[in-house]
Amino acid sequence: MVDAIRGAHTDIQVEAHTGSGGVFDVVADGRKIFSKWDAGRFPSNAEILKTLGEMRAQKA
């Protein structure tokens, strides 16, 4: 997923962190955009890329 984000959004700083207890959150600009805990599943790359694209469009 990190490589997909870096490939599509070269201006976004991406870091991967491992959490305990199955935690998997995706945070962009200080805002949680996906939580495995809340959704009960991992996100797809396409889902995260779409959300990041929408965030970028809102800033423009």
**Per-residue buried b or exposed e for 25-38, using 16+ beta carbons within 10 Å of the residue's own CB:** ebebeeeebbeeee
Q: How confident is the model at residue 11 (pLDDT cuts 50, 70, 90)?
A: confident
Strands 25-28 and 31-35: antiparallel
- pTM of the shown model: 0.81
Question: What are phi and psi for residue 20, nearest 5 degrees?
Answer: -95, 160
Tokens of 18: 């491992």
Is residue 17 predicted with pLDDT exceeding 80?
A: no
Residue with the bigger pLDDT between 51 and 15: it is 51
Residue type at 39 in one-letter notation: A
The pLDDT tens digits of the residues spanning 20-59 come to 888 888 888 888 999 999 999 999 999 999 999 998 888 8
Every domain of the chain and the residues it spans = 2-59
